Structure 1
Amino acid sequence: MSLKKLNYTLLPQSEADPQPTPRRSRCSWASRRACQWASVAILVAVITAALVATRKPQDRDNHWSPAVSAPACPQYPALKPLSSGLEKDIEKLIGSDEYFKKSTKLMQGAVQVPTESFDDMGKVGEDERWDIFEDFHAYLADAFPLVWSKLEITKVNTWGLLIEWKGKDDSLKPYLFMGHQDVVPVLPATESRWKYPPYSAHYDGRFVWGRGASDCKNVVIGVLEAFETLLEKDFTPQRTIMAGFGFDEEISGPQGAQFIARHLEDIKGKDSFELILDEGGLGITELNGAMFALPGLGEKGYFDVRIVVETEGGHSSVPPDHTGIGILSHIVSAIEANPYEPDLTPVNPYFTTLQCAAEYGTDMDPWLRNNIQKAITSKKAAKSVADFMANQDVHLRYLMQTSQATDIVSGGVKINALPEKVYAVVNHRIAVENRVADIQKNMQSVIKKTILEKFSLTLDAWGTLSGNTSASALGKITLENFDEPLEPSPVSPFDSEAYKTFAGTIKQIFGADIVVAPSLMTGNTDTKFYWNLSKNIYRFSPTRNEGRANAHTVDERVGMKEHLEGVRLYIQLILNGDL
């Protein structure tokens, strides 16, 4: 395909007694949103004041700031449509068979373009593997003609897409919808294991199958469908609406989202967006007998440490008691024998997830429910909950604990030669209560206590020498950054107007009984580059869990019924953002 009628700018590369299950409050709200917000104003004011005064998830220097009177799981009402002709028309349109078929074809077409990104990708303009994004851009321009002809399209570092839909009121901060165009590669050795070929985008009447279907071309296509649908209705938003789609999120975004974020800060300034919504979170899922929406309000940090062991070489026929590889093995063993401990504090959004589960989860074990509720004022109860949850599921453990995993080992070049230099790389995902400096201090302490007392070695930990620094040292251990570390993200508020609109829209689309509970992401999205642009950053893929499967692995797929719910959420959030 060829690009047609593009109006884009090309930028340079460059635990206690059982408690009764709480009753859910129910209320009949007026159809007009202004009346709705007036009805709930007093409740919201009380919640907000209590939250701000007693529990500030953003304050990492005060991890334990227990609330006495604040709601443990504040909920905001489902927003009600204004019953306008536009909203009725859109609801009818999206519910039609014709729209369903069209949406399915749009998803299929996107999945069929294999926009894979690889860890060893070179720079844009130099590595030909980036060229596939030209095909993807051509597809998008053809699939969404109104977006490409009526909105301002900026290409950032060639393949990054930034779309701006000018609003009527410049005093309103824009909304920014995010997603990424790239997908993880399909290993040739796994292709035969797929039920349908990974880039066939086969539709079986329920799911579209293929790489990227649920991570995250469903998000990119969903946002663009929302834009195109509203443009077809001649809608112009009050506030400016933007979309930013990187192209290398699966390899940490250095050439995509980083460039887009830098460009946005240059043209819009810091703290210039009212709300940023990216992929992520745990979607819509059941917890303890209730349905929850679990947007990610924060992300763990990321830190890779390279451990280098240098020793004297020689012939393997006369080896020392411990070779460099042997010493490195001792170090890795010591690290694994000294894991971080799970902890649960109010600074962690998962603390609020559990509070919501305890309040609304009808099937929760009474012991667990009572301890979660006691954890609001008791560190001991919180620790009991953390230890219990950590023993139930490794995924839950690492919502409360810094992880450490040795993922790379290198050393030795010849079977009869003692290795002179070997290294390992340990990946850390840092809990929100910790910092990069804490990880450095802990690793240095573990090595001093377990290795230096056993081996006569020098330790160079990020430029600080210790251990045996004399000429008699048998060798040297160096601790250094493997790549640029990332601190845990700021935790977005759940009492801001942007969050209230976002949470209310989720309930409006997915059901008023949905519990919207702040949660935490153990991984990172492209939002790591956007912290300067808004305090209201939420990571949420609007898909019920039964409607997506196998991201990053064989038989990835997305349910089209669930995908259309996501389109409706994007549309409604744009409409609700005007009020």
Structure 2
Amino acid sequence: MALKAPNYTLLPQGETDPLTSTRQRTQVNWRRLYQWAIPVILSIAVILALIITNIAHTGTDSDWDHHSSLPACPQYPALVSSTGNKKFEKDVLDEISSEGFFGKSVKRMQGAVQIPTESFDDMGKVGADDRWNIFVDFHAYLEKTFPLVYSKLEISHPNTYGILIEWKGKDESLKPYLFMGHQDVVPVPKVTESRWKYPPYSAHYDDRFIWGRGASDCKNVVIGVLEAFETLLEKDYIPERTMMAGFGFDEEISGWQGAFYIAKQLEDTKGKDSFELIIDEGGLGIKEMYGSMFVLPGVGEKGYHDIKITVETAGGHSSVPPDHSGIGILSQIVSAIEAKPYAPNLTPINPYFTTLQCGAEYGPSMDSWLRKTIKKSLTSKAASKKVAEYLSNDNINQRYLMQTSQAVDLINGGVKINALPERVFAVINHRIAVESRTKDVRENIQTLLQDQILKKFSMSLNAWGNVSGNTSSSAVGQVILEDFDEPLEPSPVSPFDSEAYKTFTGTIKQTFGEDYIVAPSFMTGNTDTKYFWNLSKNIYRFSPVRDDGRANAHTVDERVGMKEHIEGVKFYTQLIFNGDRK
């Protein structure tokens, strides 16, 4: 908004001031100045508010000041025995490491993978779509495989196929831990079955890996948690703190029938902020980086927003087409969007900022210029921008840890070869950076259309119910912007200095190695935890499997290493032990 300079000549030029008193003239002048000043001051306030809001999304100087007062890469020591019975803990963990347990675990994993609990994008509601019935078989398998869990613990089934397990602890004053995972897997397209080394639901074990859909995403997590529970129940162990497990059944299609109902039941029965710690699948793995071993749990997730763009035109016979059909206009819209990607932005708000600080601090083989610039970014926005630009050009996966992504994933238009389409649409998927919000995505795409499309084509724009552009009878059509489904804001960033985080990361080092560096990270995708934000501030996404022990989630030849799976069972068991800390 441009502000007009005040006209200090308060009377029309050439007229004589009828007031002879200086006091009277001053009163008139001040009154007229008030009339001018009040709207100007209000306008300035609005502009400042907009500036402050924008700064909040891009990182302020105070963000850097606050971050610079914290350790660049906070590390906490590996934990030691916490139950007061070191021998008992050692005996349990030794049993999990035994050959006998290994053999049983192979069979448990194979049986779970062999049940094709696929979830499809077009699934109907539970009770109205027979494809959900496969989960009856999976539940029967779990009950047979983990008899003590099902006979000694409280189990409920939110929305029929959810699984919620409660293992009551001795001390009700301690907030529970919640272990999460999901029962469903992405479908195996028929056309890809022949490309698998072993049939996708054979759960073939080759003395190293179990092969099959869901082996690493994430039936290994579900089975691993249940194996930890079952093993401790066999020893008549009762935790100090209540332990719970929640397994949804439609995570791969956003979890609105599974995890949503589990979270609602927990909030209704336990209340908000009722959990000390929530652990779900995810994270960026356990891997070698820059010459050191890093563990990268996710302390946050990007937002999610699908926008549907519809172009409506008059249609007609294709023998007398206009210069641009609806498909042609939509193509130009898509081209304009792809030609203007979001810019990378790296600020201390983003957990990946801390991931990089950890790499600079503990990665001996990191490029010297990159190390120096990352460390400088602790106090310099200019250095941070250089790091973002360098990494975004170096690796596409790193780029999208620092910027909002946009991908054209669906397109539809045309029904007959000799008929001009009257209605065509595309859907753009956005994964929203932590510094941004869904409204920023809407504003960005609306502005782009107004600047590049409406000026070129005589059309109206209906953006979420607000109509602009050419709305007269001369318009050749309209462009409609609307949400394709419910948008999701970026998640809250869980703390990495809380007692829960220290217990969580101390258990990681206790299990995988004291010299491992735990670096808070950020996830580009979403997990079922999006429904659990009200239940705990300490939500961490971490699949306890080394990167070389899993492969090809969501694609051909998915597999998980059994040695790594056993290590994950030990992690869950150790975390239950460490939950006894008060």
**What is the TM-score with the length of structure 1 in the denominator?**
0.89
Match of 2:140 among 112, 125, 138: 138
Q: Bigger shift: 79-88 or 162-171?
A: 79-88
Match of 2:159 among 145, 157, 160: 157
Following superposition, the deviation at residue 60 of structure 1 comes to 9.6
Following superposition, the deviation at residue 237 of structure 1 comes to 0.6
Match of 1:95 in 2: 97
Give the distance between the partners of 2:289 and 2:363, measured in 1 at CA. Answer: 6
Following superposition, the deviation at residue 62 of structure 1 comes to 6.7
Match of 1:191 in 2: 193
Match of 2:452 among 450, 453, 462: 450
2:234 is the counterpart of 1:238: no
Task: Letter of the 1:81 partner, please give it.
Answer: S
2:380 is the counterpart of 1:386: no
Task: Letter of the 1:422 partner, please give it.
Answer: V
Following superposition, the deviation at residue 234 of structure 1 comes to 0.7
Would the alpha carbon gap of residues 488 and 65 (structure 1) be closer, same or farther in structure 2, given more than 3 Å must change?
farther
Deviation readout 1:34-54 (Å, 9 max, x if unpaired): xxxxxxxxxxxxxxxxxxxxx
Match of 2:484 among 475, 479, 482: 482
Match of 2:305 among 300, 303, 311: 303
Task: Letter of the 1:489 partner, please give it.
Answer: S
Following superposition, the deviation at residue 65 of structure 1 comes to 4.5
Following superposition, the deviation at residue 466 of structure 1 comes to 1.7
Match of 1:33 in 2: none
Structure 1 contact 214–549 (Cα < 8 Å) conserved: yes
Task: Indicate the structure (1 or 2) with the bigger Cα radius of gyration.
Answer: 2
Give the distance between the partners of 1:522 and 1:487, measured in 2 at CA. Answer: 13
Match of 2:80 in 1: 80
Give the distance between the partners of 1:196 and 1:209, measured in 2 at CA. Answer: 7
Match of 2:46 in 1: none
Give the distance between the partners of 1:538 and 1:167, measured in 2 at CA. Answer: 22
Task: Letter of the 1:70 partner, please give it.
Answer: L
Task: Letter of the 1:417 partner, please give it.
Answer: A
Structure 1 contact 111–210 (Cα < 8 Å) conserved: yes
1:34-113 alignment, distance < 5 Å: 64-82=64-82, 84-113=86-115
**SS at the partner of 1:342?**
coil
Following superposition, the deviation at residue 420 of structure 1 comes to 1.1
Following superposition, the deviation at residue 68 of structure 1 comes to 3.2
- Count of matched residue pairs: 524
Match of 2:519 in 1: 517
Deviation readout 1:95-146 (Å, 9 max, x if unpaired): 2110111111111111111111111111111111111111111110111010
Match of 2:291 among 284, 289, 292: 289
Structure 2 contact 67–348 (Cα < 8 Å) conserved: no
Match of 2:568 in 1: 566
Match of 1:534 among 526, 533, 536: 536
Task: Letter of the 1:133 partner, please give it.
Answer: F
**SS at the partner of 1:458?**
strand
Match of 2:224 among 189, 210, 222: 222
**SS at the partner of 2:221?**
helix
Structure 1 contact 58–490 (Cα < 8 Å) conserved: no
Task: Letter of the 2:256 partner, please give it.
Answer: P
Give the distance between the partners of 1:132 and 1:126, measured in 2 at CA. Answer: 14
Match of 2:464 in 1: 462
**SS at the partner of 1:441?**
helix
Match of 1:343 in 2: 345
Match of 1:471 in 2: 473
2:421 is the counterpart of 1:419: yes
Deviation readout 1:30-82 (Å, 9 max, x if unpaired): xxxxxxxxxxxxxxxxxxxxxxxxxx999999755553342100100000125
Would the alpha carbon gap of residues 363 and 446 (structure 1) be closer, same or farther in structure 2, given more than 3 Å must change?
same
1:305-320 alignment, distance < 5 Å: 305-320=307-322
Give the distance between the partners of 1:466 and 1:379, measured in 2 at CA. Answer: 38
Match of 2:251 among 226, 249, 252: 249
Would the alpha carbon gap of residues 397 and 318 (structure 1) be closer, same or farther in structure 2, given more than 3 Å must change?
same
Structure 1 contact 299–489 (Cα < 8 Å) conserved: yes
**What is the TM-score with the length of structure 2 in the denominator?**
0.88
Deviation readout 1:193-214 (Å, 9 max, x if unpaired): 1111111111111111111000
Task: Letter of the 2:76 partner, please give it.
Answer: Y
Structure 1 contact 349–519 (Cα < 8 Å) conserved: yes
Following superposition, the deviation at residue 306 of structure 1 comes to 0.5
**SS at the partner of 2:133?**
helix
1:351-390 alignment, distance < 5 Å: 351-390=353-392
**SS at the partner of 1:262?**
helix
Following superposition, the deviation at residue 528 of structure 1 comes to 0.6
Structure 2 contact 58–347 (Cα < 8 Å) conserved: no
**SS at the partner of 2:475?**
coil
Would the alpha carbon gap of residues 425 and 58 (structure 1) be closer, same or farther in structure 2, given more than 3 Å must change?
closer
Give the distance between the partners of 1:555 and 1:61, measured in 2 at CA. Answer: 47
Task: Letter of the 1:537 partner, please give it.
Answer: I
Give the distance between the partners of 1:78 and 1:300, measured in 2 at CA. Answer: 29
Structure 1 contact 57–493 (Cα < 8 Å) conserved: no
Match of 1:437 in 2: 439
**SS at the partner of 2:230?**
helix
Would the alpha carbon gap of residues 58 and 379 (structure 1) be closer, same or farther in structure 2, given more than 3 Å must change?
closer
**SS at the partner of 2:427?**
strand
Give the distance between the partners of 2:347 and 2:113, measured in 1 at CA. Answer: 41
Would the alpha carbon gap of residues 177 and 57 (structure 1) be closer, same or farther in structure 2, given more than 3 Å must change?
farther
Structure 2 contact 59–347 (Cα < 8 Å) conserved: no
Structure 2 contact 162–248 (Cα < 8 Å) conserved: yes
Q: CA RMSD in A?
A: 1.6
**SS at the partner of 2:322?**
coil
Following superposition, the deviation at residue 313 of structure 1 comes to 1.6
Following superposition, the deviation at residue 161 of structure 1 comes to 0.2
Give the distance between the partners of 1:108 and 1:539, measured in 2 at CA. Answer: 25
Deviation readout 1:298-344 (Å, 9 max, x if unpaired): 00011000111111121111111111111111111110111100110
Q: Structure 2 unaligned runs (5+)?
A: 1-55
Give the distance between the partners of 1:301 and 1:101, measured in 2 at CA. Answer: 41
**SS at the partner of 1:471?**
coil
Q: Structure 1 unaligned runs (5+)?
A: 1-55
Give the distance between the partners of 2:59 and 2:72, measured in 1 at CA. Answer: 17
